[in-house]
Chains A and B, each alone.
Chain A
Amino acid sequence: DGGITQSPKYLFRKEGQNVTLSCEQNLNHDAMYWYRQDPGQGLRLIYYSQIVNDFQKGDIAEGYSVSREKKESFPLTVTSAQKNPTAFYLCASSPLPGQGAGELFFGEGSRLTVL
Chain B
Amino acid sequence: GNSVTQMEGPVTLSEEAFLTINCTYTATGYPSLFWYVQYPGEGLQLLLKATKADDKGSNKGFEATYRKETTSFHLEKGSVQVSDSAVYFCALSDQINFGNEKLTFGTGTRLTIIP
Chain A interface (Cβ within 8 Å of chain B)?
4, 6, 31, 33, 40-43, 45, 48, 50, 58, 90, 92, 94, 96-98, 100-109
Contacts and interface: CB of A to CB of B under 8 A. Distances in A.
A103 B102 contact: no
Given A90-B43, A97-B95, A108-B43, A40 B100 contact: no
Given A101-B51, A103-B46, A40 B101 contact: no
Contacts of A41: 107
A61 to B, nearest CB: 13
A94 B101 contact: yes
Nearest to B108: A42
B105 A43 contact: yes
Contacts of A103: 34, 46, 49, 101
A48 B102 CA distance: 8
Contacts of A33: 101-102
A50 B101 CA distance: 9
Interface of B: 32, 34, 36, 41-46, 49, 51, 89, 93, 95, 99-103, 105-108
A49 B29 CA distance: 23
A106 B43 contact: yes
Contact of A45 (B32, B42, B102, B107): B102
A41 B104 CA distance: 12
A113 B65 CA distance: 39
A110 B107 CA distance: 19
Nearest to A3: B43
Nearest to A43: B105
| Residue among B32, B99, B100 with the highest chain A CB neighbour number at 10 A | B100
Nearest to B44: A106
A43 B89 contact: yes
